[in-house]
Amino acid sequence: MQKSLLANLQSVLSSDLRSTLQSCVILRRPDRDQIASFVGWGRSKTDSLLLELQNSGLIQRYRDNEAGQGRPPYLYAPTKSLGIVVGIELGVDTDHIVVTDLRQNILETVSFSNERPTADPIAEIVQRVVRTIETPGYSLKEIIGIGLSAAIQFNSHNASGRIVSFTNECANLIGSQLTKELNIHVYVGRPQVMIAYDTHWRTLIADKTSFVSAFFAHNVGISHFVEGKPYGGSSGLGADLGHLKIPFSNRTCYCGRSGCFRTIVSYEGVAQTLSERAKLIPQLASRYTRSPLGSAIDSPESAVREVVQLARNGNSFGVDLVATLGEQIGSTLSSAVSLFHPSALSIHSCYVDAGPVFTDPVTIALRRSCLELYTENLEIDFYGLSPQNIARGSASFAIIRSMEELVSYQEDTRKR
C-alpha cells in the first residue's frame, strides 16, 4: 500500500525538522522568535532548520507589511502545495465538508442531504465519508488528515433512524476503520469539540487556562478545555449538557428520560415550543399548530430561524420566546461556570443572531446564578452557528492532530 502524505513526511524529515514544521503550521504564521520559543531552541538553530524547510519547498517566508513602523520580521507558513485537510460533519439531515490547506484557507465547501442509516451503521458512515471526499474530486494522495465530527447512535429503538448521539467506542471504531480503508489518519470528535477548534484555534495553542465552549443546535453540547485540550474524563466523552435534567421541562427525550435540557433548547425543542404556542400568532398558526413536533414541522432549524428573525424585528412573541430561552441557557450554564471556574465561556448558536434579546438574558441569568468570584473576570463570548462551522472546526482539529502525529512519530518508533 502506498504511503500516506503524513507517513512520507514522517519518514523523510528529522525529528527537529518535524517539530519546526509543526510550529510553522499550528502557530499560524509565526516569526522566528515565536518558533524558537515554541520548540525551545536558540535562534541560530531555528534559523538553520527554517532554511532547510524552505529549501525543501515545505514552508515559505514573507514580510508582514502591516506590522507598523520599522522593518517587519519574516513570517513563516506552510506552502500551499504541502497538502490539504478535510473536515466533515455528518449531520442530522445534511452532511457538510470543508477542504482547507494547512494555512486554514478554505478551498472548497460541499453540502448534501444524507440517507437513512443502513443495517451496518459503521459501514454506512465509512461510505458517507468516502463519498464526501470524492465529491469535490480531490485525490487521497493530497490529504494529510481528515477531521470527522459525528453525533452517532447505534440504537435499534430509535425509530426515526436519525444520528442523534455519540459514544466514544463508536468514534474509535469509525476512526480506525476509516484510517485503515483510506490509508489516511482520520480523527473523530464530538461536534462541541470541533466548534471550539473552529473559533478558538489560537487559544487552544497558546492559552493554558481553562475555558468552556457550549453549542445549541440540533444537538446540545459542552466542552471543557484545560491547557489547550478537551477534558474527556474517564469515558473520553467529557461533560454532557444535553441530558442534564432541568426543572423547567417535563418533555420526554429520545434517551427515554424526561426533563433533559435538550428537549427545551435544541432546535427540535424550540420548534416544539413554537408548535405549542404558535396559535397565539395568526400568521404562524396555520403552519405550526397542526400536530405535535415531527409531523407539523418538517424543518425545526427553519422554524427556529424564523423565530429568531421575529425577535430581531421586535415581535413580542419572538422576543418572549428567545429571551426565555436565553434565561434558561444562562441559568443552566452557571453550573458549568461554578464547577470549572473557566477564564472564558463561549456560546455558539443561531440564537445569537437575535442579538441582545438573547445574549442579555443569558449573561444576566448566568451572573445572577453564580458567585461573583466565578464571574467577575469571566469573558463571555457569543458566536453565530452556520452549517459549515463544525466541518471547518473538524479541519482545524485534523491539522493540529496530524501535526502532533508528525512530531510523535520518532517516540512511537522507539517504543516499538
Predicted confidence pLDDT, tens digits, the chain (416 residues)? 567 888 888 888 999 999 999 999 988 889 999 999 989 999 999 999 999 999 999 999 988 776 666 778 899 999 988 889 988 887 766 778 888 999 888 888 888 776 655 556 667 767 767 776 666 667 777 889 999 887 654 443 344 444 444 455 666 777 788 888 888 888 888 888 888 888 877 666 666 578 899 999 888 889 888 877 888 776 666 778 888 888 888 888 877 888 899 999 999 898 888 877 766 665 555 555 443 333 345 678 888 888 899 899 998 888 999 999 999 999 999 999 999 899 889 999 999 999 999 999 999 999 999 999 889 889 999 999 887 888 899 999 999 999 999 998 764 444 44
Q: Judge whether 73 lies within some domain.
A: yes
What is the C-alpha separation between 399 and 177, in angstroms, rounded?
20
**What are φ and ψ of residue 251, in 5° steps?**
-75, 150
- Distances in Å between the Cα of 65 and the Cα atoms of 71, 73, 102, 221 are 9, 9, 22, 41
Q: Judge whether 335 lies within some domain.
A: yes
- Say what the pTM is: 0.81
Paired with 149 in beta bridges are 89, 189
What is the C-alpha separation between 90 and 107, in angstroms, rounded?
19
What is the C-alpha separation between 400 and 193, in angstroms, rounded?
13
Pair 258, 318 in one domain: yes
| Three-state DSSP class for residue 156 | coil
Pair 49, 68 in one domain: yes
Number of domains in the chain: 3
Report the CATH number at residue 64.
Answer: 1.10.10.10
What is the C-alpha separation between 405 and 56, in angstroms, rounded?
20
Pair 101, 68 in one domain: no
Pair 96, 156 in one domain: yes
What is the C-alpha separation between 87 and 99, in angstroms, rounded?
6
Q: Judge whether 117 lies within some domain.
A: yes
What is the C-alpha separation between 330 and 279, in angstroms, rounded?
27
Contacts for 10 with CB less than 8 Å, ≥ 6 apart: 18, 405, 406, 409
Pair 176, 208 in one domain: no
Using the 3D structure, point to which of 30, 59, 78 is the last residue of a domain: 78
Q: Judge whether 212 lies within some domain.
A: yes
Pair 168, 208 in one domain: no
Q: Judge whether 341 lies within some domain.
A: yes
**What are φ and ψ of residue 101, in 5° steps?**
-90, 180
Pair 370, 241 in one domain: yes
Pair 244, 168 in one domain: no
Pairing assessment for the beta strands 344-349 and 143-150 based on DSSP bridges: unpaired
Which grid cell is 328? Answer: 434558561
Pair 128, 253 in one domain: no
Pair 340, 218 in one domain: yes
Report the CATH number at residue 233.
Answer: 3.30.420.40
- In this predicted model, what pLDDT tens digit does every residue of 52-108 receive, in sequence order? 999 999 999 988 776 666 778 899 999 988 889 988 887 766 778 888 999 888 888
Pairing assessment for the beta strands 344-349 and 211-216 based on DSSP bridges: parallel
Pair 327, 252 in one domain: yes
Using the 3D structure, point to which of 47, 78, 109 is the last residue of a domain: 78
Q: Judge whether 293 lies within some domain.
A: yes
Domain that holds residue 55: 5-78
End-to-end CA, the chain: 21
Pair 115, 208 in one domain: no
Q: Judge whether 410 lies within some domain.
A: yes
For residue 166, the tally of other CB atoms under 10 A from its CB is: 21
Using the 3D structure, point to which of 78, 100, 131 is the last residue of a domain: 78
Q: Judge whether 194 lies within some domain.
A: no
Nearest Cα residue to 201 out of 333, 50, 38, 394: 394
What's residue 288's pLDDT?
Answer: 53
